[in-house]
Chains A and B, each alone.
Chain A
């Protein structure tokens, strides 16, 4: 069995999801920079980036040599990703400190800077995968899914926390981010399935699975459909339908915790589907 299938790239999945959550949370808390109930989320931005970067070290065969990954900033997309993410982490540290220390007057400006660096890190991450030698990844669905996950993972907790806040005026913006993120993620996953099937049909000889094609297709299909249901459709149904009433969806109720867990699970499944399709490629 190829190494890609054995490892399943868990460290990279955690890294990308953590950084995307941090970026989305930075954006959502910047939108709500004067809302005190957002404090826990604002503080969480830096730890999330830190956890992601630490997880990415586990992907390396020689983690202690990680510093060498900045040696090729001129040409290497991976060097640039490490550099930009490091800048994001530094900015996130100051931003989270601003929430922790109550520096209200600095929060908005720091939030804008941190969010911008976060999006730069997310785009730099997406560019790692969109290389011409990876036909299944070299498509718009990868950056689409990254941006969708960023908005969804970051804005969902902010929305639930904000629903319990009296007089929150940014509810519509947060709802817009969640719905946009869900739709973007769902569309990207469907796009992935179409792109993979087309790529396999065009290049069946060089893009073949090393194990049963039926097993590969079944795993990919189940993962992708689950992701769409959990991270795409369910959040929109619950939030827009508001069937339980706004108070029930606030951060103080168990319902919001369950829905957040469902969103995280769905997004994680979508990310694993991305690594599954790469693992299914047969290199010479």
Chain B
């Protein structure tokens, strides 16, 4: 792990699927119609009367072992040494879309009009000014936080072993959730 790696902590037990984080991210990044750099998905399961649902909000997880950085042929991705944020440089992007195949979480999204990929950059311009990303500040339930991943790992209930998410060993995402019991990966 990069020393000082920044990660997300999302309290999914608070998330009410209002999607304010999606809208704030879209607005801040001027994302076109059809592109959601942050996505909230609901998962449901169980049998009556023991039914459950939970919401997972996710953008780019700025993984510890990002396949996009390793395999981008144009070197359009870099992982910052200071905080581990994976930044995508649209000027270098050739629109090969290989990163959209590589990312287990669907973070890079191809913009056909521009001919290149777009991805959450953790609002690096805001981070460098000492401010929070748009999703963090916009969440009305304060369910989304960022901080040093080392500290986040110590939070009670912090986990990435969530049902329906890809195995974390693939890329070691820098995100942890607090989830309901039903959402735990068996």
Instruction: List chain A positions with a Cβ less than 8 A from chain B.
Output: 3, 59-62, 65-66, 68-72, 75-79, 82, 128, 131-134, 205-206, 278, 283-284
Task: Check B18 for interface membership: any CB of A closer than 8 A.
Answer: no
Beyond known contacts A283-B103, A284-B56: 14 more, CB 8 A cutoff: A59-B96, A60-B115, A61-B93, A62-B115, A68-B92, A69-B94, A71-B92, A77-B71, A78-B96, A82-B73, A131-B71, A133-B67, A133-B101, A133-B104
State how many angstroms separate the Cβ of A236 from the closest Cβ of chain B. 33
Interface of chain B residues 89 through 147 with chain A (CB within 8 A):
92-98, 100-106, 110-112, 114-117
Per a CB cutoff under 8 Å, which of B56, B74, B92, B171 touches A133?
B171
**By the criterion CB–CB under 8 Å, are A65 and B58 in contact?**
no
**By the criterion CB–CB under 8 Å, are A284 and B39 in contact?**
yes
Q: Chain A residues with Cβ under 8 A from B104's Cβ?
A: 133, 283-284
Measured CA separation A76–B98 after assembly (Å): 10
**By the criterion CB–CB under 8 Å, are A134 and B101 in contact?**
yes
Instruction: List chain B positions with a Cβ less than 8 A from chain A.
Output: 39, 41, 43, 56, 58, 67, 70-75, 92-98, 100-106, 110-112, 114-117, 163-166, 170-171
Measured CA separation A255–B41 after assembly (Å): 55
Q: Could you pull out 16 A-B pairs where Cβ atoms are within 8 angstroms?
A: A59-B97, A60-B115, A61-B93, A61-B96, A61-B110, A62-B116, A66-B94, A71-B73, A72-B72, A128-B98, A133-B101, A133-B103, A133-B166, A206-B165, A283-B103, A284-B105
Given A133-B170, A283-B105, A284-B39, A78-B98 contact (CB < 8 Å): yes
Measured CA separation A276–B98 after assembly (Å): 16
Please report whether the interface of chain A is mostly helix, strand, loop or mixed according to DSSP: loop
Most buried by B among A59, A71, A76, A283: A283
Q: Which residue of A lies closest to B171 (CB)?
A: A133
**By the criterion CB–CB under 8 Å, are A72 and B74 in contact?**
yes
**By the criterion CB–CB under 8 Å, are B74 and A65 in contact?**
yes
Given A60-B96, A61-B112, A131-B101, A284-B73 contact (CB < 8 Å): no
State how many angstroms separate the Cβ of B170 from the closest Cβ of chain A. 5
Measured CA separation A148–B41 after assembly (Å): 40
Q: Chain B residues with Cβ under 8 A from A75's Cβ?
A: 70-71
Measured CA separation A126–B41 after assembly (Å): 33
State how many angstroms separate the Cβ of B104 from the closest Cβ of chain A. 4
Given A131-B67, A133-B103, A133-B171, A206-B73 contact (CB < 8 Å): no
State how many angstroms separate the Cβ of A163 from the closest Cβ of chain B. 42
Q: Chain B residues with Cβ under 8 A from A128's Cβ?
A: 98
**By the criterion CB–CB under 8 Å, are A69 and B112 in contact?**
no
**By the criterion CB–CB under 8 Å, are B164 and A206 in contact?**
yes
Q: Chain B residues with Cβ under 8 A from A79's Cβ?
A: 73
Q: Chain B residues with Cβ under 8 A from A76's Cβ?
A: 70-73
Given A62-B116, A82-B73, A133-B102 contact (CB < 8 Å): yes
Per a CB cutoff under 8 Å, which of A59, A70, A78 touches B71?
A78
Q: Chain A residues with Cβ under 8 A from B110's Cβ?
A: 3, 61
Measured CA separation A131–B112 after assembly (Å): 24
**By the criterion CB–CB under 8 Å, are A284 and B58 in contact?**
yes
Q: Chain B residues with Cβ under 8 A from A82's Cβ?
A: 73
Q: Chain A residues with Cβ under 8 A from B72's Cβ?
A: 72, 76, 78
Measured CA separation A133–B173 after assembly (Å): 13
**By the criterion CB–CB under 8 Å, are B95 and A60 in contact?**
yes
**By the criterion CB–CB under 8 Å, are B114 and A61 in contact?**
yes
Measured CA separation A128–B71 after assembly (Å): 9
State how many angstroms separate the Cβ of A166 from the closest Cβ of chain B. 49
Measured CA separation A21–B165 after assembly (Å): 39
